[in-house]
Amino acid sequence: MDGTAGPRLTVVDHPLIRRDLARLRSVETSHGEFRRLLADVSALVAYEALRSLRERSIEVVTPLETTTGHAIDEPVIVVPVLRAGLGMVDGILRLVPDARIGHVGLYRDERTRMPVSYYQRLPSGLEEACVLVVDPMLATGGSAVETVDRLKAAGAKRVILVGLVAAPEGIARIAASHPEMPVFVAALDRELDANAYIRPGLGDAGDRVFGTDH
């Protein structure tokens, strides 16, 4: 795990992530396999992102004696950025099945490259929760920043961004807007191209998750 790539950026470096990321990048990977791999990698990255969860001690009765165990002591809310972020949710719910789910719908205006909002539904209790914003592709960072802005306006105090592939430009924008927010990704790619796509990237994650690419 490499935490040196940015002020609050952690690139989760693991052989299983590197293996699955290579498959995710491949143009030959089917939609079904892409969905499965995205969920798997999301769980591995979220595992590290959730390392800071608060705990409390509990009493556990084993078959032999009573001992001390641990339980999670704060709620978790997962907020996927629609639509590609939906592909990450199932993997994270493997780790925290009681997490509640919010949704923020944004799309990028291809002319201005700015995020445009079309949907928002958030659960109550943001103030006390560890909120994970999940979005596979952190390109310009516009959608992530807009989502975090909305969450903070709704009362969220502890927000962690979990992604798959990020561009340096997007990480810089996130760090400038929300310098206190931890960011966890599977890979920091080389750059954005003239169309603001991540290079080498893995294509349009939403299209590949839902099979809408042509």
Instruction: Evaluate whether 139 touches 200 at the Cβ level (below 8 Å).
Output: no
- How far apart are alpha carbons 175 and 145 in whole angstroms? 9
Choose the catalytic residue: 207, 208, 212, 213.
207
**Coil, helix or strand for 132?**
strand
How far is CA 84 from each of CA 81, 132, 133, rounded to the nearest angstrom? Answer: 7, 15, 12
Instruction: Evaluate whether 170 touches 140 at the Cβ level (below 8 Å).
Output: yes
Instruction: Evaluate whether 164 touches 24 at the Cβ level (below 8 Å).
Output: yes
Choose the catalytic residue: 73, 108, 113, 208.
108
- Reply yes or no on whether 207 is catalytic: yes
Bridge-based pairing state of the strands 66-72 and 55-61: antiparallel
**φ/ψ (deg, to 5) at 147:** -65, -45
- How far apart are alpha carbons 188 and 53 in whole angstroms? 25
Count CB atoms within 10 A of the CB of residue 172. 15
Choose the catalytic residue: 23, 25, 36, 204.
204
CA 15 to mean position of chain CA atoms: 19
- Reply yes or no on whether 29 is catalytic: no
Residues that are catalytic? 108, 112, 204, 207
